[in-house]
Amino acid sequence: MKQKDVICVVCPNSCAITVKQMPDGKLLMEGQGCKRGEQYASDEFLAPKRTLATTVRIKGAFIPLLPVRSSVPVPKERLNDILDLLARIEVQAPFKCGSVVVQNVLGLGADIIATRTLGVDTCAKVACELR
């Protein structure tokens, strides 16, 4: 029988939830404070997901890195694969905040999108005056 302790992060209450899976696949839960917590714990038990935020290399901008994130949470166990892939990418400026860097990354149903505008609108640049 599989068992997992989950600390719920849905709200500040931080309930400590114990999830057990019965032989028939049904989940038993203890410690959850609400329905949303129950859903969170169930997701954490069956298929934990995370929003990935990192950077990719960018050419032609005043800084060498473009911040990106996954458009929706992706499976936790595939994070490393995505990070390895993103470490190999170099994009070319200009790039607009929200535009897609990698579509449907590794077929996981999430896009990798830029979270900053680089090389388009100077209003968005921070001090990097010396480059």
The yes or no reply on residue 99 touching other proteins (CB under 8 A) is no
Q: CA-CA distance, 71 to 121, in Å (whole number)?
A: 23
Residue 22 or 104 with smaller CB distance to other proteins: 104
Residue among 91, 93, 94, 99 that touches other proteins (CB under 8 A): 91
Q: CA-CA distance, 6 to 76, in Å (whole number)?
A: 15
Looking up tokens 């609400």 gives: 34
CB of 46 to other proteins, least distance (A): 16
Residue among 1, 2, 24, 107 that touches other proteins (CB under 8 A): 107
CB 103 within 8 A of CB 111: yes
Residue among 27, 29, 93, 106 that touches other proteins (CB under 8 A): 106
Window 52-81: residues binding other proteins (CB under 8 A): 52-57, 63-65, 67, 69, 76, 79
Separation in Å, CA 7 to CA 22, 45, 120: 20, 11, 42
The yes or no reply on residue 130 touching other proteins (CB under 8 A) is yes
Separation in Å, CA 92 to CA 34, 38, 63, 101, 131: 46, 44, 12, 10, 17
CA of residue 41 relative to chain centroid, distance? 18
The yes or no reply on residue 9 touching other proteins (CB under 8 A) is yes
Residues that bind other proteins (CB under 8 A): 7, 9, 12-14, 50-57, 63-65, 67, 69, 76, 79, 83-85, 87-92, 97-98, 101-107, 115-117, 121-131
